[in-house]
Amino acid sequence: MDQEVRAYLQKARLALKDADLLAAEGSPEATVNRAYYAMFYAATAMHIAEGRRFKKHASLIGQFNKVFVHQGNTDSKFYQFLQTAFDLRGVADYGAESATSVSRKQAQEMVRNAYEFVAMAEQFLKGAGGKVER
């Protein structure tokens, strides 16, 4: 597995740990941010492993749906996880409602989804000829 792919998977794992810590501290906006980035880094690793790079988050997400979901490489729920996390991260990071824009329940759901998403990406990349290092 390419060094850059491994580096993005490591970033995804670190973002998951951060999301857990932030969830325990009761910071839903920051939790959602880190959960989204865990998924984003994992999706980036998948794209890079297949030779694709994107400058915009929306492009990466759209192509994730087109390439990985529509071509049958992964379940459509992972696209939904990624899109929902992207949307909620936007509310958390840029919403004017400050600390009330994201609930703890929403944040906890994003963390669960992020764990599942990163695990899927690791399995996908193992199947793509790489060996994921822990």
Sequence spans of domains, the chain: 3-127
Q: Which fold has domain 3-127?
A: Four Helix Bundle (Hemerythrin (Met), subunit A) (1.20.120)
Each residue of 72-91: pLDDT tens digit?
999 999 999 999 999 999 98
What DSSP line would sit under the chain, residue for residue? --HHHHHHHHHHHHHHHHHHHHHHTT-HHHHHHHHHHHHHHHHHHHHHHTT---SSHHHHHHHIIIIIITTTSS-HHHHHHHHHHHHHHHHHHH-TTGGGSS-HHHHHHHHHHHHHHHHHHHHHHHHTT-----
Q: Enter the pTM of the model.
A: 0.91
Average pLDDT over residues 103-112: 95
